[in-house]
């Protein structure tokens, strides 16, 4: 990697190094939404750069509520914008350096949902997670279902209820089946859980009937975010057979605001777990298709210090993004710019790397201790759950910031 240095002071531990430069949607107090790039503790005002002839993309593409129209310009354009900003932040005599008003403090902006999400698909691609769930709820001897090693299992989720980091989530009400009962009751979920996931955002449209091969897949991926797929385990248990999770998942999902591009993640490629069961040819993917991204989850009880409860890594994913997208489109299903594809819970091989409370506290049998002395089997009202992620190699750090949200009490009508 070519070493780069900005004239802007950037903390060594910043997720938003000169090597990162993720895109997001921000607004200043009372102002309109704009496309920005994060650098250190600043936001680069791309609209301003364009208006001042520092970028060769029309400023209208940066005065947007969502990144979709910008992304739709194509990777040739979006890559160049990112590289132009990198150059502007490095060159000693850069015109940006002479325009400090185009660098806004992150503390002065509000971040918004980065893309208008058309469709949202959630995969189930961590073998550790799928195995843990199978051991707990089915048969430890046959924890994985017969299709799991053949199919990157996925299902459709609700796009409308995906919100940006910071938006609180109300505990859902719903139907749950009390232990040993045969009739459900209506109640607030008592098993609200997080799921540590990462999402990727589609960067290029296909048409109905088109297929994206594993070789082409990454050209269709714009970038990645952290994704908390909030789940209500008790609602899920009663509703999900035979058509899958519904109200247990669609009361809210939280995403981090900065979209880290595939280009920024390139240095962190690694091989994935070996797939010993031979996959069908359309799922074969050569080369290093995983990414070494360290992940952590912390819980902060209201008014108390946070406790990190999980440290996992995206590199554990059994099915990679290229396989997921090739599978999703093999039947001709069309994808579009802004679609969100989430990984499924990212559990690692050791118990401290599990990606949900369900697994960490093993269905409530192994409660976790918080710093304030309380214990957690699931998430309590007032708790804030924060997920962080970053890649780090040879002194180069590319991070995602965080996705954080507080769980509020159920709204009772």
Taking a C-beta distance cutoff of 8 angstroms, is the pair 14, 397 a contact?
Answer: yes
Catalytic site residue from 34, 129, 327, 328: 129
Residue 135 binding its own copies, by CB under 8 A: no
Query: x/- contact string, 253-292, with its own copies (CB under 8 A)?
Result: ---------------------------xxx----------
Give the span between the Cα atoms of 259 and 24, in whole angstroms: 6
Residue 136 binding its own copies, by CB under 8 A: no
Residue 245 binding its own copies, by CB under 8 A: yes
Residue 19 binding its own copies, by CB under 8 A: no
Cα dihedral 52, 56, 19, 265, rounded to 10, equals: 140
Give the span between the Cα atoms of 73 and 202, in whole angstroms: 13
Residue 317 beta carbon to its own copies: minimum distance, rounded to whole angstroms: 17
70's tokens: 């910008």
CA 392 to mean position of chain CA atoms: 18
Residue 76 binding its own copies, by CB under 8 A: no
Give the span between the Cα atoms of 326 and 367, in whole angstroms: 39
Residues within window 174-213 making contact with its own copies, judged by CB under 8 A = 174-175, 182-186, 208-209, 211
26 assigned ligand-binding residue? no
DSSP secondary structure letter of residue 403: E
Residue 413 binding its own copies, by CB under 8 A: yes
Strand partners, 387: 297, 403
Residue 359 binding its own copies, by CB under 8 A: no
220's tokens: 């269709």
Q: Is 129 a residue of the active site?
A: yes
Residue 218 binding its own copies, by CB under 8 A: no
Cα dihedral 51, 55, 61, 65, rounded to 10, equals: -80
Residue 15 binding its own copies, by CB under 8 A: no
Residue 333 binding its own copies, by CB under 8 A: yes
CA 310 to each of CA 75, 86, 226, 313: distance values in angstroms, whole numbers, following the listed order:
34, 33, 15, 10
- Which of 119, 296 has the CB closer to its own copies? 119
- Which of 98, 243 has the CB closer to its own copies? 243
79, 111, 290, 65: which is closest to 200 by C-alpha?
290
Residue 140 binding its own copies, by CB under 8 A: no
Taking a C-beta distance cutoff of 8 angstroms, is the pair 300, 80 a contact?
Answer: no
Residue 194 beta carbon to its own copies: minimum distance, rounded to whole angstroms: 16
Taking a C-beta distance cutoff of 8 angstroms, is the pair 377, 150 a contact?
Answer: no
Residue 407 beta carbon to its own copies: minimum distance, rounded to whole angstroms: 12
Taking a C-beta distance cutoff of 8 angstroms, is the pair 222, 130 a contact?
Answer: no
Of 30, 243, 286, 394, which one interacts with its own copies (CB under 8 A)? 243
Residue 143 binding its own copies, by CB under 8 A: no
The runs of H, that is alpha helices, within 12-97 are 46-51, 68-71, 75-90
Of 298, 330, 363, 396, which one interacts with its own copies (CB under 8 A)? 330
383 assigned ligand-binding residue? no
Residue 322 beta carbon to its own copies: minimum distance, rounded to whole angstroms: 16
The dihedrals phi and psi of 305, each to the nearest 5 degrees, come to: -65, 155
Give the span between the Cα atoms of 41 and 104, in whole angstroms: 9
Give the span between the Cα atoms of 371 and 154, in whole angstroms: 36
The runs of H, that is alpha helices, within 176-261 are 233-239
249 assigned ligand-binding residue? yes
Residue 112 binding its own copies, by CB under 8 A: no
- Which of 209, 287 has the CB closer to its own copies? 209
Residue 257 beta carbon to its own copies: minimum distance, rounded to whole angstroms: 17
- Which of 25, 163 has the CB closer to its own copies? 163
Of 71, 232, 264, 322, which one interacts with its own copies (CB under 8 A)? 232
345 assigned ligand-binding residue? yes
229 assigned ligand-binding residue? yes
Q: Could you count the other beta carbons within 10 Å of the beta carbon of residue 46?
A: 25
Give the span between the Cα atoms of 42 and 27, in whole angstroms: 13
Using DSSP's 3-state secondary structure scheme, residue 239 falls into helix
Residues within window 146-175 making contact with its own copies, judged by CB under 8 A = 146-147, 150-151, 153-161, 163, 167, 170, 172-175
Binding residues for substrate: 124, 138, 236, 240, 345
Which positions touch its own copies (CB under 8 A)?
A: 118-119, 124, 145-147, 150-151, 153-161, 163, 167, 170, 172-175, 182-186, 208-209, 211, 232, 235, 238-247, 250-252, 280-282, 327-328, 330-336, 339, 411, 413
Catalytic sites, residue numbers? 129
Q: Would you list which residues are annotated within the binding site for Ca(2+)?
A: 122, 195, 197, 229
């Amino acid at each position: 990697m070519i070493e780069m240095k900005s004239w802007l002071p950037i903390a060594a531990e910043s997720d938003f190094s000169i090597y990162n430069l993720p895109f997001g949607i921000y607004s200043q107090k009372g102002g309109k939404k704009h496309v920005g790039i994060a650098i250190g503790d600043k936001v680069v005002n791309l609209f301003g750069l364009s208006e001042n002839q520092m970028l060769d993309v029309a400023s209208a593409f940066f005065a947007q509520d969502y990144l979709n129209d910008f992304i739709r310009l194509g990777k040739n354009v979006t890559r160049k914008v990112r590289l132009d900003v990198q150059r502007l932040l490095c060159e000693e005599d850069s015109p940006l350096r002479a325009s400090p008003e185009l660098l806004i403090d992150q503390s002065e902006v509000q971040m918004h949902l980065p893309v208008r999400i058309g469709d949202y698909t959630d995969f189930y691609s961590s073998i550790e997670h799928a195995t843990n769930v199978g051991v707990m709820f089915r048969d430890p001897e046959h924890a994985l279902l017969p299709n799991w090693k053949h199919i990157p299992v996925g299902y459709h989720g609700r796009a409308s209820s995906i919100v940006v980091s910071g938006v609180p989530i109300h505990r859902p009400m719903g139907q749950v089946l009390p232990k040993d009962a045969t009739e459900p009751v209506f109640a607030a979920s008592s098993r609200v859980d997080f799921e540590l996931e990462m999402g990727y955002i589609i960067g290029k449209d296909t048409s109905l009937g088109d297929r994206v091969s594993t070789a082409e897949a990454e050209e269709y991926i714009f970038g990645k975010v952290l994704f908390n797929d909030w789940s209500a385990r008790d609602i899920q248990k009663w509703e999900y057979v035979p058509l899958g999770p519904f109200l247990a998942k669609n009361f809210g999902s939280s995403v981090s605001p900065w979209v880290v591009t595939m280009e920024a993640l390139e240095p962190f490629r690694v091989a994935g777990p070996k797939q010993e069961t031979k996959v069908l040819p359309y799922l074969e993917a050569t080369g290093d298709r995983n990414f070494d991204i360290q992940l952590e989850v912390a819980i902060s009880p209201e008014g108390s210090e946070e406790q990190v409860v999980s440290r996992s890594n995206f590199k554990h994913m059994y099915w990679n993004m290229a396989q997921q997208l090739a599978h999703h489109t093999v039947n001709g299903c069309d994808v579009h710019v802004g679609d969100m594809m989430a990984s499924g819970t990212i559990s690692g091989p050791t118990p401290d790397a599990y990606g949900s409370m369900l697994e960490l506290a093993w269905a409530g049998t192994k409660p976790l201790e918080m710093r304030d002395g309380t214990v957690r089997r699931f998430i309590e009202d007032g708790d804030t759950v924060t997920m962080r992620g970053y890649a780090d190699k040879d002194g180069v750090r590319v991070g995602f910031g965080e996705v954080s949200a507080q769980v509020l009490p159920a709204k009772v009508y």
